[in-house]
Amino acid sequence: MRIATWNVNSLKMRLERVGGWLNRARPDVLLMQETKLADSAAPIAELAQRGYELVHHGQGGWNGVAIASRVGIADVVTNFGLPFAAANRPSESDDEPSREARMISASCGGVRVVSLYAPNGRTVDSLYYHAKLAWYALLLGWLRDTRNPNEPLVLGGDFNIAPSDADVWDAAACHGGTHVSHEERHAFGRLLSWGLVDAYRHQHPELRRFSWWDYRAGCFQKNYGMRIDHLLITAPLVPRLVWAEIDREARKGKPTPSDHAPVAIDLDAAGQAFDAGWAGAEERIAVRTRKR
């Protein structure tokens, strides 16, 4: 069973790319974030033509999460089971993340999956940063109250946190910013302490493997990125984990790709093989960084 996560950065704009990647990687379940669609605009028919059932939780031009599955979808939960109320300050964004479309969960093929789009936080100690930490506390509370670390569960998505200095291109350059602060990393660590394992890191000790690169200044070509997209799994899934990868190739080419790459894991048996592009990129990246 292959489970993947991908911040698509507009499902409407990237639908062709998503379709191509479904053919390339053949995931059984794809968790998507930042769909930027209302539920009424979700491409249910288009995904059905490819053999995938789609559930979507969105609010229009920002945020939005979805699950596409070809192994069934049942018992859908959105927004941690809370009413999706209108924002108190609709002119703002990221300041009331519990009122935004950032979480959807379902049972797919005997595994409980959760698609998450964590708030960005903007700047440390800002209103948005504290709202991000509050959202993480809400997530942890939902896990404690409604889930069990002994069930097969995958928590996936854009966490907007690089768990360690190994997950950023330059720890000194990132020091003092969001995504790497002590409080954010502590919030991520509390999820692991509840009973989750970082599936990619469990399989890959290599450094400089990232899932997000800024569009600006050749960051992708120089591999100035962060690993902020994760698939966290509970203990029953750890012995079933046979493979994990970040598909760097999906960040390349035309039409304009998302600034995030898909992250995928296989349970029980290997899925369709594809070249994620890391081996071929390492020498090119080394040459570019020597020229800085």
Helix and strand counts by DSSP (H, E) for the chain: 8, 14
pLDDT at 287: 61
pLDDT at 32: 99
80, containing H or E segment: none
Contact 149, 194 (CB under 8 A): yes
Alpha-carbon torsion (214, 220, 224, 227), positive or negative: positive
Which among 117, 136, 200, 224 is annotated as catalytic? 117
Which of the two residues, 127 and 84, has the higher pLDDT score? Answer: 127
Mean pLDDT, residues 21-35 taken together: 98
Q: List pLDDT tens digits, range 198-228.
A: 999 999 999 999 999 999 878 999 999 999 9
Which of the two residues, 283 and 272, has the higher pLDDT score? Answer: 272
Q: For 232, phi and psi rounded to 5 degrees?
A: -100, 135
pLDDT at 77: 98
Q: Mean pLDDT score of the chain, rounded to an integer?
A: 94
Choose the weakest-confidence range: 60-64, 67-71, 190-194: 60-64
Would you say residue 285 has pLDDT above 70? no
Would you say residue 292 has pLDDT above 60? no
Contact 1, 109 (CB under 8 A): yes
- Per-residue confidence band for 239, with pLDDT thresholds at 50, 70 and 90: very high
- Per-residue confidence band for 74, with pLDDT thresholds at 50, 70 and 90: very high
User: Which residues is 45 bridged to in the sheet?
Assistant: none
Would you say residue 289 has pLDDT above 60? no
Q: List pLDDT tens digits, range 157-169.
A: 999 999 999 999 9
pLDDT at 174: 92
What is the rounded distance in angstroms from the CA atom of residue 123 to the CA atom of residue 177? 7
Question: Distances in Å between the alpha carbon of 8 and those of 53, 65, 110, 172, 180?
Answer: 17, 10, 25, 29, 22
pLDDT at 236: 98
Q: Is 117 a catalytic residue?
A: yes
- Helical axes 127-146 vs 182-195, angle rounded to 10°: 10
Which among 28, 158, 167, 229 is annotated as catalytic? 158
Which of the two residues, 254 and 276, has the higher pLDDT score? Answer: 276
Question: Distances in Å between the alpha carbon of 143 and those of 22, 76, 179, 195?
Answer: 29, 15, 22, 10
* Structural domain boundaries in the chain: 2-290
Mean pLDDT, residues 64-83 taken together: 97
- Per-residue confidence band for 61, with pLDDT thresholds at 50, 70 and 90: confident
What tokens does 291 get? 């020229």
Of the candidates 68, 66, 63, 65, the one whose C-alpha atom is nearest the C-alpha of residue 28 is 68
- Ramachandran category for residue 191: left, alpha or beta (phi over 0 → left; psi -120 to 50 → alpha): alpha
Per the omega criterion (within 30 degrees of 0), is the bond before 255 cis?
yes
Domain range 2-290, CATH architecture: 4-Layer Sandwich (3.60)
CA atoms within 13 A on the CB side of 104: 25
pLDDT at 57: 97
Q: List pLDDT tens digits, range 132-187.
A: 999 999 999 999 999 999 999 999 999 999 999 999 999 999 999 999 999 999 99
- Per-residue confidence band for 243, with pLDDT thresholds at 50, 70 and 90: very high
31, containing H or E segment: strand 29-33
